[in-house]
Structure 1
């Protein structure tokens, strides 16, 4: 039995499957990840080369150098015209067929929802949501991208994306629900993530179910704990098993 057949059998025999994904899920849609050789953090831009990439997406930059933050954010994180890929569509199909309890994602692009998934927990927030940092008023998903300069609310507060920046705590509700889902799962499929970002990577430690599946181009620190490890793109792997669902 090859690895694809093993994955098909695990999915077939599992009752509570949860998917936990990272940047690698979206790279095949044309969204760069943050840490690969050609990822967002390694893209040279003369305007930003004097800043550490982690700083450009930090709480400090957002509020202390807001002009720099929003220029970077508008240039690098506008995914409104990006389409979901095979990984997104197969996960949506699994949910539709009752084979997936939920998706936990580190991504902030909203592509899972665009593909048709409804049970999505975004532990790093989403670029599709914006709110005033002072009064909490919400703004349309493309508000920041359609404006220039500093987006200011009528109350005078700074309008910001509902994204977890470096230096900020993860959204409590999404984090709590993610832990609940993983604890209840009998199969956890981890895909497109290096499991090097904390505390998100710690979510795997809550899994006590039967089958841990790791799908990633490169090795991860949790490969040795997995029942099945596939080193390939998540889109290719899900494309191979789609007909068996």
Structure 2
């Protein structure tokens, strides 16, 4: 018997990816394969593939438990989890791929099912995966906007740069806008990447972020608020 194939692709939200999170996600996929598809332990062990990519190369696992370190390397750029059910004589098949990338555009979830009620099956799997993901969500999407918005911001940065170096414009307000655009486009995404991997460098970025926020707060307090109070009192 031939079944329909349904495929779904979703962009992932901004997340903090830890080893414990990947383990929880792996356990969910294994449990789903065991309970719903009735996969054997041997089939389940072959169904999971995890690839961790950094500047040195790609390390592959069949379980995140095989990774000895608790934290990822500092240069980790993308982690992929795949679940591929084995071939069945009746043609049923399930493929799941989650790509956790620092680059927003490459952070995706793809589920493809060939089985009875494939659309309903995928909706159930998606609900479970999103429940796992929800616990790890961050606000980093704010400083990692879609490519179209980033393009407009870059154009704005180019325009303010031109105006600042022209003889016609030297306003402090223009300089302020230029600095804000530069920080938003280059510094903030570095300190708060879209997908945040748990590593030593991420902890250093946390310290830099605290310093940055405290610096901005001090500037607003002493440079703006106190100046306003002084002018008001005088």
Both structures adopt the same fold (TM-score exceeding 0.5): no
Bigger fraction of residues in strand: 2
Q: TM-score, normalised by structure 2?
A: 0.25
Bigger fraction of residues in helix: 2
Q: TM-score, normalised by structure 1?
A: 0.24
